[in-house]
Structure formats: C-alpha cells, structure tokens
Amino acid sequence: MHVPMNRVTTNTVLRIFALPACGGLVVLLGISLPYIFYTSDYSHIWGMSALFFIGAFVSAIVGLPLLALVEWRLPKNRLRYVIGGIACSTGIWLLLDMPIFPKDWNKWHDANFLLHYAWRRLIFFSCFGLLSGSLYTGAVALINKYVPKNRDFL
C-alpha cells in the first residue's frame, strides 16, 4: 500500500527518533566500554550517560538532513543507512577537525598531520558511523516489521 509523503505515520516518527537513539547508543558504548574495561572504574557511569545525549544531539543535527538525502537519492539500496552513517560520521569529523580560524590553517599543511593524525581520526569516526548505520538498519527493519506504515501518528 502506498503512503502519501505528506502523512505523518507512527512508523515515520519511530524511524526519525531511532536515528538519534542509535547514534547516541553507539557513542555511549564506544567511549564508555573501553574506559570501563581499561580502568575497571564504575564510578563515572552516570556521568558517562551524558555521552548518550551528546551523541544523540549531534546525530540529530547532522544525521536527520543526511537521512532525508539518503532516502531521496538511494531509496532502493539495502546499505543506504550504513552509507549514510559513514557519510554522517565523516561530516562530523570534518566539523570537529576542520580548521575554521586562519591561525589553525597551518595544521592542515603539516605533512605529519595529514599522513598520520588525520587518517586515524577519520577511520575512528567512520567506525562509529558504520556501527551506527548498521544499528539503524536493524532498528528500521524491526520498526517496519512490527509497526504498519499506514497507521496515522495521532
């Protein structure tokens, strides 16, 4: 059954809220689990829960417009959310590491930075995007399976 694009359905709302949740969960687990395994310190667990909200906020800001672009350009591709997750994490990496002020521009001209530091950070961020996109693909599959696409939201 074809659902018109201007209808707000429960399926659509759940898919929109699943994107920041998946991004926040991957950031929370990706940063807190290595810290806990390395230090065996559980006292900062509640403070680390803020990582979920930071990851969810950044995922929503960067990921929701990119999700609309991915849905528009790759509607039939099975890996569209994984591709979108990697593109989103690359965009976040550029936003965090890109020199904005002229005094920081020399950092990008340094061969050591470009050959060693930049690629490591890009791969690190891309792994987060790969995991987040994979988790979102599973979440969308579950939402599509259990929530009908033609049920109105309210």
Q: Which of 146, 123, 140, 150 is nearest to 22 (CA)?
A: 140
Rg (CA), the chain: 18
Domain ranges across the chain:
10-146
The predicted structure's pLDDT at residue 114: 66
The predicted structure's pLDDT at residue 28: 92
The predicted structure's pLDDT at residue 131: 96
Q: Write the pLDDT tens digit of every residue in 45-103.
A: 778 888 899 999 999 999 999 999 998 998 889 999 999 999 999 988 888 877 676 77
The predicted structure's pLDDT at residue 70: 92
Q: In terms of residues, how long is the chain?
A: 154
The predicted structure's pLDDT at residue 33: 85
> Helix H segments across 40-102?
45-73, 80-97
Contact call for residues 150 and 3 (beta carbons, < 8 A) = yes
The predicted structure's pLDDT at residue 146: 93
Q: Sign (positive/negative) of CA torsion 68, 69, 72, 77?
A: negative
Predicted TM-score (pTM) of this structure: 0.84
Residue 77, token pair as written in the block: 């591709």
pLDDT reading at 3 higher than 70: no
